[in-house]
Amino acid sequence: MTDKSPRNNLQGGAWLIADMSLNIWALSIVKWLDAGYPVMQVVFIRASVGLILILPLIWIYRSHFRNIEYPHLHLLRVSLSVITLTASFFAISRVPLALFTAINFTRPIVTMIMAAVILRETIGRRRWIASVIAFFGVYIAADPSSVSWTVGLSALMLVIFTGSSATIATRRLRAAPPIVLMTFYTAGLMICSAPLAVPFWAEIAAKDIIALLAVGAFAQCAQLCFLNAHYHGEAGFLSVLGYLSLILSVSVGAFVFQETPDPSFYLGAILVIGAALWVVWRSRSVSVND
């Protein structure tokens, strides 16, 4: 891959939808475990499973690890990602899945602003409008007036900043081979979580072993999809399309966790879906500056 390769928003969007689906299932499993294990233990297991899965790829593409550019950016991305994942796993077991996803949707706008300011990416007028519409849709769906402040929400605020910053670092490293990005991320997670996971290790119940392994498998596959999405797609397009995961998460919350959304959710969902579909449809024939 090269940083100058042309963008393909529809291809990037397909990868992003796969990423969102896999991530929601990984987070759903963590929520289902209901904080039964220390957060850093879950992070360590997720990273260990992921590293085992990509070991064959690391060997096959070992030549890609020669002359790694911007090592400081890799380390920054890993550090931000460790904080983001740990805070996410901490929060998901303490707030409803729909609310968790809805509040996370302040991240696309933060990412768009960072992409425009730091990466000098052009964010077209239409995408800014669609993003604002989708944001108001999320606001209506989440109904923040009915939400009490908790430590879980505090963790989500941290996730918004560190997660957006990690995404920008990933986009800055667009030219790096995916296997290099995945290895830095996964190995970094394992190394950083080990000192806190091992001393407080909780015995794993037999019934939870497969679930914890699945968290690692789903999350690792999601990371590959995420990297491909941000390689092929533009920040403005992906940021708006990302709002569709609200629909996916609420569906899982309703069917798996019996978290029935309020009527206001459906109005918000219509705005979110409409904004995302508008951007996808117009991306076929309209300039990025439109």
Predicted confidence at residue 234, as pLDDT, reads 76
Predicted confidence at residue 67, as pLDDT, reads 81
Predicted confidence at residue 290, as pLDDT, reads 47
Q: Residue 41 and residue 99: Cα distance in Å, rounded?
A: 24
Q: Which residues contact 227 (CB under 8 A, 6 or more apart)?
A: 170, 178, 181, 182
Q: Are 73 and 180 in contact (CB under 8 A)?
A: no
Is the pTM for the entire model greater than 0.85? no
What CA–CA distances, in Å, run from 211 to 17, 106, 215, 257, 279? 22, 29, 6, 16, 36
> What residue type is 279 in one-letter code?
V
Predicted confidence at residue 191, as pLDDT, reads 92
Q: Residue 58 and residue 68: Cα distance in Å, rounded?
A: 14
Predicted confidence at residue 276, as pLDDT, reads 66
Q: Residue 139 and residue 66: Cα distance in Å, rounded?
A: 46
Predicted confidence at residue 145, as pLDDT, reads 66
HEC letters along the chain: CCCCCCCCHHHHHHHHHHHHHHHHHHHHHHHHHCCCCCHHHHHHHHHHHHHHHHHHHHHHCHHHHCCCCCHHHHHHHHHHHHHHHHHHHHHHCCCCHHHHHHHHCCHHHHHHHHHHHCCCCCCCHHHHHHHHHHHHHHHHHHCHHHCCCCHHHHHHHHHHHHHHHHHHHHHHCCCCCHHHHHHHHHHHHHHHHHHHHCCCCCCCCHHHHHHHHHHHHHHHHHHHHHHHHHHHCCHHHHHHHHHHHHHHHHHHHHHHHCCCCCHHHHHHHHHHHHHHHHHHHHCCCCCCCC
Mean pLDDT, 10 residues at a time, over the chain (290 residues)?
64 88 84 78 90 92 86 88 85 75 72 76 75 77 68 83 86 82 89 89 88 89 85 74 72 71 75 70 51
User: And the tokens for 99?
Assistant: 């609310």
